[in-house]
Structure 1
Amino acid sequence: MRLNEHTKLLGQRVVLVPYEARHVPKYHEWMSCPTLRNQTASDELSLDEEYEMQQSWRHDNDKLTFIVLCAETYAKTNDEIAAMVGDTNLFLHYDEEDKQYVAEAEIMIASKEARGKGYGREAMLLMFKYAQSHLPLAKFEAKIDMDNLISLRLFESFQFIEVRRVEVFHEVTLERQITPEWLTWLDAQIALRSETYNSC
């Protein structure tokens, strides 16, 4: 999605930047790990396929993605590649039954050294705020492996509610309606945590 191609979101711990071709080699290196692919339900891609996927994320109207940078490393080095720790994505679709737009949210902190530091939480809060401000969304959802207790707890902390379990896919689906009350909660979570700049 071209919506965020000139957008940088700044938080206290993380900086979110558009996914560009220059990020692909490091991203591809991350995804060469079978454990990480399994946790994210991702297919193994060649480097050329990874570049094609990056272009899909840039151009397709149903996909929105940011690369997550460690703010401290980025401030010290001004090097996005050195500061990369993960990514956050939204897949958009129109729910014909409920007549509303829904965004499936994903967060990945790929760097082991970066886990457990609150990067994923802050990155996801920034993504929620950006998406609900710029897209006609009624609901967020997350589909998480049943064994991924860290991610399940994370989305529960965002006030997502479990709506179904699919044993054959070993998957839990959680949802969060975008209500005025939840937006007030979201604003309170990020009020002192971040600033948004619309130019890279």
Structure 2
Amino acid sequence: MRTNENIVLVGSKVALVPYRREHVGRYHDWMKSIELQELTASEPLSLEAEYDMQASWHTDADKCTFILVDHPSSAPVPSSWKDLSVHNMVGDVNFFLNEPDDPKTAEVEIMLAEPAARGRGLGLQALAMMLMYGVETLGLHRIISKIGMGNTSSLRLFQDRLGFVQISESAIFQEVTLSLSLTPDSDALRQVRDLAGRVEQMAYRVDPKPAHRDIE
């Protein structure tokens, strides 16, 4: 999605940067992991196919992808988001706007690929930031997520921390579908906004130092 191709969202624990060509090599290495293939229901791709996928997702209007970067807001703003984001990338978060009859609904997915990044609240804040971006920039009102029945950590994250509720279950695919309504003035939206905290929006540039502004 071109909407997010030049922005960085920085929270207190994690930054979200657009998925670019420079991130593909490490992403490809991640997806060699059997564990990640099973968690994401993905098949491994060749490096060339991974580059093609990134290029396609960059232009597809129904996909919005950010790379998760371990970068607390207390750290200095880097002179090159390109270099730091490749070195500190720990996962990704995606929106799939695959409901043609309901453009205000999207499916969200998150992956923390680096084991050292887990259990530190990065995924929770990244999801909250992504949900706020969806509401404030993409005009979304409802988010769904499909999670494997055995993925207890993700189920706790979405249900217990973010307030998603189960709306269906598939015995064939061994997954549940969760949903969260983020309509204006809803308690769910206020909770997500609190979890996201202060978010700073910057430009994804190599040089000079990115201009920035605060977003609520």
Question: TM-score surpassing 0.5?
Answer: yes
Q: 1:77 and 1:138, CA in 2 relative to 1: closer, same or farther beyond 3 A?
A: closer
Residues 65 and 93, structure 2, Cα contact 8 Å, conserved in 1? yes
* 1:171 maps to which of 161, 175, 181: 175
Tell whether 2:92 aligns with 1:92: no
Q: 1:51 and 1:187, CA in 2 relative to 1: closer, same or farther beyond 3 A?
A: same
Query: In structure 1, the residue corresponding to 2:38 is in which secondary structure?
Result: helix
Aligned-residue identity in percent: 39
Distance in 2, Cα, partners of 1:77 & 1:27: 24
Residues 169 and 177, structure 2, Cα contact 8 Å, conserved in 1? yes
Q: 1:27 and 1:167, CA in 2 relative to 1: closer, same or farther beyond 3 A?
A: same
Query: In structure 1, the residue corresponding to 2:203 is in which secondary structure?
Result: coil
- Matched residue type, 1:151: S
Distance in 2, Cα, partners of 1:16 & 1:136: 19
Once the two structures are TM-superposed, the CA of residue 197 in structure 1 deviates from its matched residue by: 1.2
Unaligned runs of 5+ in 2: 79-83, 205-216
- Matched residue type, 1:187: R
Corresponding residue for residue 27 of structure 2: 27
Give the total of aligned pairs.
Answer: 196
Corresponding residue for residue 160 of structure 1: 164
Once the two structures are TM-superposed, the CA of residue 101 in structure 1 deviates from its matched residue by: 2.7
- After superposition, where does 1:66-81 map in structure 2 within 5 Å? 66-72=66-72, 75=75, 78=78, 79-81=84-86
Residues 141 and 176, structure 1, Cα contact 8 Å, conserved in 2? yes
* 2:149 maps to which of 140, 146, 150: 146
- After superposition, where does 1:44-55 map in structure 2 within 5 Å? 44-55=44-55
- After superposition, where does 1:51-130 map in structure 2 within 5 Å? 51-72=51-72, 75=75, 78=78, 79-94=84-99, 96=101, 99=102, 101-130=104-133
- Cα root mean square deviation, aligned: 1.9
Distance in 2, Cα, partners of 1:52 & 1:45: 10
Q: 1:82 and 1:140, CA in 2 relative to 1: closer, same or farther beyond 3 A?
A: same
Normalization by structure 1: what TM-score? 0.92
Once the two structures are TM-superposed, the CA of residue 100 in structure 1 deviates from its matched residue by: 5.1
Residues 112 and 123, structure 2, Cα contact 8 Å, conserved in 1? yes
Unaligned runs of 5+ in 1: none
- Matched residue type, 1:32: K
Pick which of 85-94 and 139-148 moved more.
Answer: 85-94
Residues 95 and 101, structure 1, Cα contact 8 Å, conserved in 2? no
Distance in 2, Cα, partners of 1:40 & 1:159: 22
Normalization by structure 2: what TM-score? 0.85
Corresponding residue for residue 183 of structure 1: 189
Distance in 1, Cα, partners of 2:104 & 2:72: 35
Q: 1:131 and 1:54, CA in 2 relative to 1: closer, same or farther beyond 3 A?
A: same
Pick which of 129-138 and 43-52 moved more.
Answer: 129-138
